[in-house]
Copies of this chain bind each other. A is one copy, B any other.
Amino acid sequence: MPSMTKHDILSPVAASDSLNQQVSQIAILGTGLLGASLGLGLRAARFRGSIIGYGRRMATVERAKALGCIDQATTNLAEAVDGCELVVMATPVGVFTSLLERLADCGHPSLVITDVGSTKQQVCSDADRLLPNPTYFIGSHPMAGSERQGPDAAIKDLFDDKSCIMTPSKHTSPAATSLVQQLWGSLGMNVIQMSSAEHDQKVACVSHLPHAIAAMLMRLADQWDATQIASSGFRDTTRLASGDPTVWTDIFKTNRKQVIKAVDALALELQQFRKLLVDHADDNLELQLQQCKKMRDKWALEPEGDE
């Protein structure tokens, strides 16, 4: 599937104009870091419609409202989506299935639904299975975030100049794809399209495995009583281990197969590295480190996402 960047489609301003023409009301389901930042970002991008925030805990939704992230706060899903043209699921991934079940009941048939989840195959297949009209669902993964949590961590330019992966299914309508592209485009995101399967495989490698490794390195350092002498290299390598355990458990649960594949691939790399050490194959080791440095330096020069 061809990828699409914001340069291929509309400028942020044009995307925002188009969004304003089609959408008078957006519901954001979940007002944590991502949901609340989405609200702030939409306002900064001159979205003129209403932004309804929904969550299970009134305190969190009210806090998001007090911070100016949303216009209205509710813990009633039917109320939240009533009158909306667009809904963004911004809860932890593990809540998506039950949200979709309930949206199937209370959403009107042409309500466009997307999400911000870090895994895509499960939510896309749930949408196909559960929604009365799955043509209006398209998965999104805005590659933005931080290890901080909650509406107080929200920032208006969290999404700006980052990548957003959209994963249309064979059912997704061009109209839904276009509308959700305008949503992310208005926030200054670079939109890339791929299948949910390709997405889940790639993020297993560059996001989920690094998270697991960060946690494991932290455990090891603790077991070896070595954190006292750990320094900034260790700090960077283990930063992801400070992420929300519930969010990450959901991610691992919903991308189990691909994460296992990535773990196996890394185990093989570890074996090969160990063999180089045992064999005193130091020239080969240096060559490999050179190749890795080259890849890293080249990649680090490219524009980045942020998560």
Q: Given the known A-B contacts A222-B295, A242-B297, are A210 and B201 also in contact in the complex, defined by CB atoms under 8 Å?
A: no
Q: Are B143 and A231 in contact (CB under 8 A)?
A: yes
Tallying the copies of this chain within the complex gives 2
- Docked pose: A285 CA to B263 CA in angstroms: 15
CB distance from A84 to the nearest CB of B (A): 29
Q: Given the known A-B contacts A229-B202, A300-B242, are A219 and B291 also in contact in the complex, defined by CB atoms under 8 Å?
A: yes
Q: Are A269 and B220 in contact (CB under 8 A)?
A: yes
Q: Are B229 and A163 in contact (CB under 8 A)?
A: yes
Looking at chain A's contact residues, is the secondary structure mostly helix, strand, loop, or mixed?
A: helix
Q: Are B293 and A231 in contact (CB under 8 A)?
A: no
Q: Given the known A-B contacts A217-B213, A224-B201, A225-B202, are A293 and B242 also in contact in the complex, defined by CB atoms under 8 Å?
A: yes
Q: Are B229 and A165 in contact (CB under 8 A)?
A: yes
Q: Are B233 and A236 in contact (CB under 8 A)?
A: no
17 pairs, A vs B, C-beta closer than 8 Å: A3-B228, A163-B231, A201-B226, A211-B233, A214-B237, A215-B289, A219-B288, A221-B299, A223-B265, A229-B305, A235-B300, A237-B240, A243-B293, A244-B293, A245-B289, A252-B282, A267-B271
A residues neighboring B (CB under 8 Å): 3, 143-144, 162-163, 165, 192, 199, 201-203, 205-207, 209-246, 248-249, 252-253, 256, 259-260, 262-267, 269-271, 273-274, 277-278, 280, 282, 285-286, 288-293, 295-297, 299-300, 302, 304-307
